[in-house]
Chain A
């Protein structure tokens, strides 16, 4: 059963949720064709379905709509937090949950992409860093993190042609947006994959690497692929969260 910000405090109290879900999104340029709130829009939809699928009572927090988007700073509409700010937000929110007795928190760290693993995230390293510190500061906590497109990577690769080349606003996320919010997709943007690797995201601004704001192949997107992607992403993310909390419980015994 899912509980959210639309419940009353008494309802949440009575439900005694064991798990909280905390989605972290961003507001940043997403090529010429997708809205700046793309990550928030998609993550809202995915995390709600994950919360409804997980067993037991789950408390879903509102998606944090701003993140570490400094890379896109010069693009209109982008709002960026510093990394210490995001780490502080995570620490404070998890601390609030702990004060109410919710000890299991799953943090969804943006959407990720198919190359993000469960040990090494893509793009956002600070959520992983903050989660690790929280677990060691508060041994009674079990905070885990996941990137939905990463845990569903194997399945997504069989749906999309260019999932492995996608970093930003490409075939995968454009397809998902065409399925969930077709009215918000303005054309397809221009396909672009820079000559250098993803490490350069730490060294140069996104506009220097990808002048059109796209790293991937949005021209190949379709609503049909997007529908299948949402389904497998929700299933894989739910399974991953349940399995990881299970492993942790047996380990801490």
Chain B
């Protein structure tokens, strides 16, 4: 694999066919987790996925759409159109260098602009295969956790992942909280109105052991989904190209 520690000549000689780009966030994560939680998680997972795929790893973006935490101290966010431009420009840089397969790994649940951006880029540039396998800050492994169904932010999953990745950054306090309203309220009201410090889930159930296993499974699932999706797309595009040729 190649990353920002490689030289340009090394990357050229290696001729990677796939790039991996993770998207993090800087936002409140209850009392016990640091602002960088989403970023560090996606940095870890995208690095391991890039190694498995022998890909070019793009440094994970620290910032994304954390508007819903707006007034919480330390939170910074990008507007949807800003994140869209960053994603587009990164992918266009890769395309100009002959890398046509891009894996976008989302580390923060609020980045709903990624779907339309990826869809439009795939439609506009038929030579590209840009995919977005599920990672989403651990949602891909929610089934491994006791309280995975109520987890949304800073709960058992994220606490476990951070205990595995950066235990020194996890504070001792644990708040457990599950709000009454549905998750659509992320779209409607600052989290401070309906959660304590953005806490949604059962953080007291987190452990480093669960986190280590979840990371392994997350990487395994993302890699498997990536390989399967690229293969299925290759078949689909070949079929539709030959159908067009017949017409």
Contact = CB atoms under 8 A, between A and B. Distances in A.
The answer on A and B forming one complex is yes
B133 to A, nearest CB: 8
Interface stretch (A131-139, A168-176, A227-235): A131-139
Contact of B236 (A70, A87, A204, A247): A204
Given A132-B110, A196-B236, A211-B243, A119 B183 contact: yes
A204 B237 contact: yes
Interface string A185-196: 000000000001
A211 B194 CA distance: 46
B113 interface: yes
Interface in B140-163: none
Most central of A68, A83, A128, A209 by chain B CB within 10 Å = A83
Interface string A101-121: 000000000000000001100
B129 A203 contact: yes
Interface stretch (B41-49, B89-97, B119-127, B208-216): B119-127
A136 B122 contact: no
Contacts of B132: 199, 202
B237 A208 contact: yes
A40 interface: no
A10 interface: no
A201 B122 CA distance: 10
B190 A136 contact: yes
A87 B80 contact: yes
A129 B229 contact: no
A7 to B, nearest CB: 28
A118 B184 contact: yes
B118 A207 contact: no
Nearest to B181: A247
B189 A248 contact: yes
A87 B186 contact: no
A208 B229 CA distance: 15
Contacts of A209: 236
Given A201-B119, A208-B236, A248-B188, A136 B182 contact: no
A251 B189 contact: yes
A125 interface: yes
Contacts of A132: 65, 67-68, 110, 112, 186-188
Contacts of B119: 70-71, 201-203
A180 interface: no
SS class, residues of chain B in contact with chain A: helix
Interface residues of B, number: 43
Contacts of B243: 211
A145 to B, nearest CB: 7
B79 interface: yes
Interface in A127-165: 128-133, 135-136, 142-145
B240 A208 contact: yes
B131 A203 contact: yes
B189 A135 contact: yes
B193 interface: yes
Nearest to A68: B116
B233 interface: yes
A252 B193 contact: yes
A244 B184 CA distance: 9
Interface in A61-95: 68, 70-71, 73, 82-84, 87
Interface in B66-115: 67-68, 70, 79-81, 84, 110, 112-113, 115
A205 interface: yes
A205 B123 contact: yes
20 contacts: A68-B116, A73-B123, A83-B116, A87-B81, A119-B184, A119-B187, A130-B80, A132-B110, A132-B112, A132-B188, A142-B188, A144-B184, A200-B232, A200-B233, A200-B236, A202-B131, A202-B132, A204-B237, A247-B181, A248-B188
Interface of B: 65, 67-68, 70, 79-81, 84, 110, 112-113, 115-120, 122-123, 129-132, 181-190, 193-194, 229, 232-233, 236-237, 239-240, 243
Given A118-B182, A205-B123, A208-B239, 19 more contacts: A73-B123, A83-B116, A83-B120, A84-B81, A84-B84, A125-B113, A129-B80, A131-B187, A132-B110, A136-B70, A136-B190, A145-B184, A145-B187, A196-B236, A200-B229, A202-B115, A203-B131, A208-B237, A252-B193
5 closest residue pairs by CB, A with B: A119-B183, A83-B116, A208-B240, A136-B67, A125-B115
Interface of A: 68, 70-71, 73, 82-84, 87, 118-119, 125-126, 128-133, 135-136, 142-145, 196, 199-205, 207-209, 211, 244, 247-248, 251-252
